[in-house]
Amino acid sequence: MARGIANGLPLDACTTSEDVGEAFEPGDHLSTFGDIPVSCAAELANIDYLVDKKLPEEAERKGRGLMQELEDMKRPHRIIGDARGKRLMIGVELVRNLETKEPASEEAASIRAYAGKRGILVGHDGISGNVLRLQPPLVISVEELDQAINILGESFEEVEKKGA
């Protein structure tokens, strides 16, 4: 893991089970950014913040709400083939046809572009490039999440209206 654990400062880490860790011999594993004192201090402060603010629990609660919103969007937006994920890391599979599950790759790119113009960063990937990747920060407010889901809905409408 890297980046987020020290809030953007250079740091990486490798975690494993005890039995696997004990099997390492000197030189089996390297860490480019594993021993920078200021980064380690930032990482410890980051962990304290995560625990104090109960961010994992909040991500679980907000993620359930986001999944429900996406489930509700399936009816008016038949381009949504599936929504899956855990907490605030969610993939929305877009399809041209619900029966055949034909990937809606161009539509995914268009939705990403439209949402981006409105201020929402959405990734898209998957084997066919038809999965929208929603990964808001753990500190996102409920109001910001509501705004994002509204913009995503507008993006679906715009692309469905234009046909990609």
**Which tens digits make up the pLDDT trace of 44-80?**
998 899 999 999 999 999 999 999 999 999 999 989 9
Q: Does residue 96 contact residue 105 with C-beta atoms inside 8 Å?
A: no
Q: Supply angle C-alpha 139, 140, 142, rounded to 5.
A: 125
What digits encode the pLDDT tens for the residues 88-144?
Answer: 999 999 999 988 999 999 999 999 999 999 999 999 898 999 999 999 988 999 999
Question: Can you read off the two tokens belonging to residue 79?
Answer: 């381009």
Q: Tell if the pTM clears 0.85, that is, is over it.
A: no
Residues 6 or more apart whose Cβ sits within 8 Å of residue 111: 94, 122, 124, 132, 152, 155, 156, 159
- Domain 55-162 annotated CATH 3.90.1150.10: yes
Best CA proximity match to 112, nearest among 126, 124, 127, 128: 124
Where do the domains of the chain lie? 4-52, 55-162
Residues 61, 119: Cα–Cα separation, whole Å:
24
Q: Does residue 145 contact residue 138 with C-beta atoms inside 8 Å?
A: no
